[in-house]
Amino acid sequence: MKELFFFDKMVTPKIITFVFWLLLVVAVFMGLGAIFGNPGGTTFMNFISGIFLIVAGSIFARIWCELLIVLFRMTRPCRRFAINSDSQPHLGNTPGGRSGPWQQVA
């Protein structure tokens, strides 16, 4: 419970996983609706458009959720970097905030 209140554990990737499965169900129902939901009956074009909706909706949901998870997973290396940089002294910093090979030597 402590990691939840102090943001040590991320909840959002679990929510994104739920949203992915929800989007998959929506894509399947939209495809089935396109296939069987027309009052004129099921035609070949309705069948193709329904299959396309299922496949394209599933791929879109997967890509969108993966991009969101990648954004949230970037926090792990950033957190490690912040912990490592806090434990090491900052050498070579100038009062202007610039350091590195472009720093002018007085």
Domain boundaries, the chain: 10-75
**pTM > 0.85: yes or no:** no
Q: What is the mean pLDDT of residues 50-54?
A: 96
For residues 52-76, one letter each, b for 16 or more C-beta atoms within 10 angstroms of the residue's C-beta and e for the rest, the string is ebbeebbeebeeebeebbeeeeeee
Q: 96: which 2 tokens? A: 């202007």
Question: Could you tell me the pLDDT band of residue 22, with boundaries at 50, 70 and 90?
Answer: very high
Q: What is the mean pLDDT of residues 75-84?
A: 73
Q: What is the mean pLDDT of the chain?
A: 80
Has residue 94 got a pLDDT over 90? no
Q: What pLDDT, on a 0 to 100 scale, did the predictor assign at position 81?
A: 73
